[in-house]
């Protein structure tokens, strides 16, 4: 049985927290012209995470995706962890499904700006707002043969379950510890993920090679 550090939810959460950008998919349904087809709409957004790994987005009211969310708050985020791979399909990626809502919490805006310092130039503009994604579930592809649907509770970081929450621990201390633990897990999970993917890939090509040899032998016999 997988432990907290190696479960699909923990590995996907590490990928989510490590990302600084994502592809955001929203729907054009409910937009002008009335009666138009509900085309999907994908766009690039900068990404940060709350302490529980809930995605944070800073977006302008003028952006098409913001207008789409105002009409239909359901959305999906694709986080791509395949950079640097010769075959991108052997690398990890996770699609997070959820609802997107505006938030005025100063702590979350400060957290986003800390992740993206250049956003400080426009974060306080009147048309920019911070959004928090309430995750419904996620679809995690870690590589060949490693595909998982993950429920929201398994993707989120639970400070209480990690033994950080208690009467003698102030909330700010808990949040700092949560970040430190997630960063440590992220490094270990990235190393493990890379090693496991390579092993799975090796076995895949071994089976393919064996199949090709059997096919050649059958052709020669015929």
CA 219 from centroid of its chain's CA atoms: 46
Overall average pLDDT of the 63-86 stretch: 95
Question: Helix 8-18 vs helix 171-221: angle between axes, to the nearest 10 degrees?
Answer: 110
Domain boundaries, the chain: 8-221
**92: phi > 0 → left, psi -120 to 50 → alpha, else beta; which?**
beta
pLDDT at 146: 86
Give yes or no for residue 131 having a pLDDT over 60: yes
How many Å apart are CA 83 and CA 107, to the nearest integer?
31
- Tell me what pLDDT residue 159 has: 59
Q: What confidence score (pLDDT) does residue 1 get? A: 38
The CATH H-level (homologous superfamily) assignment of domain 8-221 is: Electron Transport, Fmn-binding Protein; Chain A (2.30.110.10)
pTM exceeding 0.75: no
pLDDT surpassing 90 at residue 76: yes
Average pLDDT estimate for 12-26: 96
**Could you give the count of Cα atoms lying within 13 Å of 6 in the half-sphere of its Cβ?**
9
């Amino acid at each position: 049985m997988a432990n907290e550090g190696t479960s699909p939810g923990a590995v996907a959460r590490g990928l989510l927290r490590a990302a600084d950008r994502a592809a955001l998919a929203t729907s054009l349904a409910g937009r002008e012209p009335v009666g138009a087809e509900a085309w999907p709409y994908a766009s690039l957004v900068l990404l940060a995470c709350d302490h529980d790994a809930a995605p944070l987005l800073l977006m302008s009211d003028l952006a098409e995706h913001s207008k789409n969310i105002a009409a239909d708050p359901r959305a999906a985020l694709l986080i791509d962890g395949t950079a640097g791979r010769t075959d991108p399909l052997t690398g990890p990626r996770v699609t997070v499904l959820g609802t997107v809502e505006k938030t005025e919490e100063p702590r979350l805006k400060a957290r986003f700006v800390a992740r993206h310092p250049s956003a400080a130039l426009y974060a306080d503009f009147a048309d920019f707002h911070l959004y928090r994604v309430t995750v419904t579930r996620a679809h995690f592809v870690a590589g060949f043969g490693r595909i998982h649907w993950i429920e929201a509770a398994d993707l989120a970081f639970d400070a209480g379950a990690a033994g950080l929450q208690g009467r003698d621990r102030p909330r700010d201390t808990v949040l700092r510890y949560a970040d430190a633990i997630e960063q440590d897990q992220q490094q270990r999970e990235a190393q493990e993920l890379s090693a496991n993917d390579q092993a799975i890939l090796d076995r895949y090509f071994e089976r393919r090679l064996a199949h090709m040899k059997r096919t050649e032998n059958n052709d020669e016999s015929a």
